[in-house]
C-alpha cells in the first residue's frame, strides 16, 4: 500500500475569505508579524501500488478532489511501513 | 410541457421548484430521484437548491460525479432548457456545463434576504418575459455564492451575452456582480438567487414567476413552429 498525501490550496490571486478571517484573528492575538494566510485542504488517500499511481492521483485531483478553476494541488506518495 | 425536478440527497428546495412549475406556472412537473431519473421523458430539467451530499468536498462536487450527469449533459446538448438554482448552479459549474467556480461569500456569512437583480439579457429562453435592464427582486440564501472566473472567461461571458442577471448591490463578492449566467447556446441557466421562492404575491413577491413563464413561452413558440 501507498499513502498519498494531497495538498489543495486556492490559486494565487483567488480571494480566500477563510484565510483572511484567520489572519485577522492572529492579529487580534497580537501576532503582528503575521502576513497573508491561505487556508487549504489536506487529504490522505491509501492506495494499492501500481506503475500508474502518479498518473491516477493526478487525474483524481483534476476530476474531483480539486477544482482546477480555483484550486492548485500537489501530492506526495509514500511507502507505508 | 413537462418539467423534471431532480432530487439529490440533500436537496431542500425541490418542493419549492415543483410548486413553482406545477402550481404557480400550471405546467406538468415531477420530482425525480437522481438514481431513477429518465430525463429523456421531460422537456426541461430543474436542478433545485439545497446541499447535495452535505456540500462535502465542495458545493455540488459530489453530485457532479453521479451517472445522472451524463443524462443532464445529453439534455443540454439536445437544447432542452436546464435551470440550476443555488446548489443546482453549483452542480452545473462542477459538471463543467457552465464556466467558472463558486467560492465562499466574501464575508463568510450565510446570507438570506431579498436582492435586487438586473436583467442583463432579456433575450434568452429564461428571460424573454422580462425587460432588458429591468430590476427585479429575488431572494438569495447561500454561503457559497461568490461566483469566480478568470478575466478571459469574464470577457467571453460579456461578449457572448451570457450574463443573464447581475446584482444591483453585490452581496457576496461575485466577479462582475454576476448572479446568473447561461451557456453559449443559451439553454442552460445557473443562478444563485431563488426565483422559485418568488412566484406569487402570497410569498411576498412574484418576480420569479416570469422566469418560468419565459421557459413555457419559448417552448410553446418552438412547438408552434414545429407543428
Annotated catalytic residue, options B13, B86, B94, B218: B86
Query: Across residues A19-48, what is the average pLDDT?
Result: 95
Distance from CA of A7 to the nearest CA of B (A): 13
Looking at beta carbons, which residues of chain B come within 8 Å of A10?
Answer: 103
B81 in Cβ contact with B219 (< 8 Å): yes
Q: Which of B58, B104, B108 sits opposite A67 (nearest CB)?
A: B58
Please provide residue B88's backbone torsions phi and psi, each rounded to the nearest 5 degrees. Answer: -60, -40
Supply the pTM of this predicted model: 0.94
- Compute CA B19 distance to the chain's CA centroid, rounded to the nearest angstrom: 16
Interchain contact A55–B (C-beta under 8 A):
no
Looking at beta carbons, which residues of chain B come within 8 Å of A70?
Answer: 101, 103, 148
- Chain A interface disruption, residue of B99, B101, B147, B149, most A CBs within 10 A: B101
Q: Which pLDDT tens digit goes with each residue over B51-85?
A: 999 999 999 999 999 999 999 999 999 999 999 99
Strand stretches in chain B, DSSP E: 2-7, 28-33, 44-47, 82-85, 101-103, 111-119, 135-142, 146-148, 163-167, 178-182, 188-191
Would you place residue A13 in the very low, low, confident or very high pLDDT band (cuts 50, 70, 90)? confident
Percentage with pLDDT > 70 across chain B: 100
Residue scoring higher pLDDT (A3 or B108): A3
Annotated catalytic residue, options B13, B115, B120, B194: B194
Q: Which residue of B has its CA nearest to A8?
A: B57
Q: Which pLDDT tens digit goes with each residue over B169-185?
A: 999 999 999 999 999 99
B17 in Cβ contact with B199 (< 8 Å): no
Would you place residue A17 in the very low, low, confident or very high pLDDT band (cuts 50, 70, 90)? confident
- Model pLDDT, residue B224: 84
* Interchain pair A67, B105: CB under 8 A: no
Q: Which of B65, B104, B173 sits opposite A18 (nearest CB)?
A: B104
Percentage with pLDDT > 90 across chain B: 95
Apex A35 CA angle, A30 and A36, nearest 5? 125
Q: Which pLDDT tens digit goes with each residue over B159-217?
A: 999 999 999 999 999 999 999 999 999 999 999 999 999 999 998 899 999 999 999 99
- Let me know if B196 is a catalytic residue: yes
Q: Give the A:B interface size as CB pairs under 8 Å.
A: 38
B8: left (phi over 0), alpha (psi -120 to 50) or beta: beta
pLDDT at B227 over 80: no
Query: Across residues B125-145, what is the average pLDDT?
Result: 97
Query: Across residues B84-112, what is the average pLDDT?
Result: 96
- Model pLDDT, residue B219: 95
Which residues does A27 contact at the CB level (< 8 Å), separation at least 6? A34
Q: What is the CB neighbour count within 10 angstroms for residue A76?
A: 11
Q: Which residue of B has its CA nearest to A43?
A: B57
Percentage with pLDDT > 70 across chain A: 100
Could you tell me which of B15, B7, B13 has the C-alpha nearest to residue B45? B7
- Chain-wide mean pLDDT for chain B? 96
Amino acid at each position: 500500500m501507498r499513502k498519498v498525501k494531497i495538498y489543495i490550496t486556492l490559486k494565487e490571486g483567488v480571494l480566500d475569505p477563510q484565510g483572511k478571517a484567520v489572519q485577522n484573528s492572529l492579529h487580534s492575538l497580537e501576532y503582528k508579524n503575521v502576513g497573508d494566510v491561505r487556508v487549504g485542504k489536506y487529504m490522505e488517500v491509501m492506495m494499492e501500488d501500481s506503475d500508474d499511481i502518479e498518473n491516477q492521483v493526478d487525474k483524481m485531483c483534476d476530476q474531483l478532489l480539486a477544482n482546477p478553476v480555483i484550486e492548485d494541488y500537489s501530492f506526495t506518495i509514500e511507502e507505508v511501513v | 410541457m413537462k418539467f423534471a425536478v431532480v432530487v439529490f440527497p440533500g436537496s431542500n428546495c425541490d418542493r419549492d421548484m415543483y410548486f413553482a412549475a406545477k402550481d404557480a406556472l400550471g405546467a406538468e412537473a415531477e420530482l425525480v430521484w437522481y438514481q431513477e431519473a429518465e430525463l429523456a421523458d421531460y422537456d426541461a430539467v430543474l436542478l433545485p437548491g439545497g446541499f447535495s451530499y452535505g456540500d462535502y468536498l465542495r458545493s455540488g462536487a459530489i453530485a457532479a460525479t453521479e451517472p445522472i450527469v451524463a443524462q443532464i449533459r445529453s439534455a443540454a446538448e439536445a437544447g432542452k432548457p436546464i435551470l440550476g438554482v443555488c446548489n443546482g448552479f453549483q452542480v452545473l459549474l462542477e459538471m463543467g456545463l457552465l464556466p467558472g467556480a463558486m467560492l465562499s461569500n466574501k464575508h463568510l456569512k450565510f446570507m438570506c434576504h431579498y436582492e435586487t437583480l438586473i436583467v442583463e439579457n432579456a433575450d434568452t429562453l429564461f428571460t424573454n418575459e422580462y425587460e432588458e435592464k429591468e430590476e427585479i427582486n429575488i431572494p438569495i440564501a447561500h454561503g457559497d455564492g461568490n461566483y469566480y472566473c478568470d478575466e478571459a472567461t469574464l470577457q467571453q461571458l460579456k461578449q457572448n451575452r451570457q450574463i443573464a442577471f447581475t446584482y444591483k448591490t453585490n452581496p457576496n463578492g461575485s466577479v462582475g456582480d454576476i448572479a446568473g449566467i447561461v451557456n453559449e447556446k443559451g439553454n442552460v441557466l445557473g443562478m444563485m438567487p431563488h426565483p422559485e421562492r418568488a412566484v406569487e404575491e402570497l410569498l411576498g413577491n412574484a418576480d420569479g414567476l416570469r422566469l418560468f413563464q419565459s421557459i413555457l413561452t419559448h417552448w410553446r413558440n418552438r412547438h408552434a413552429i414545429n407543428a
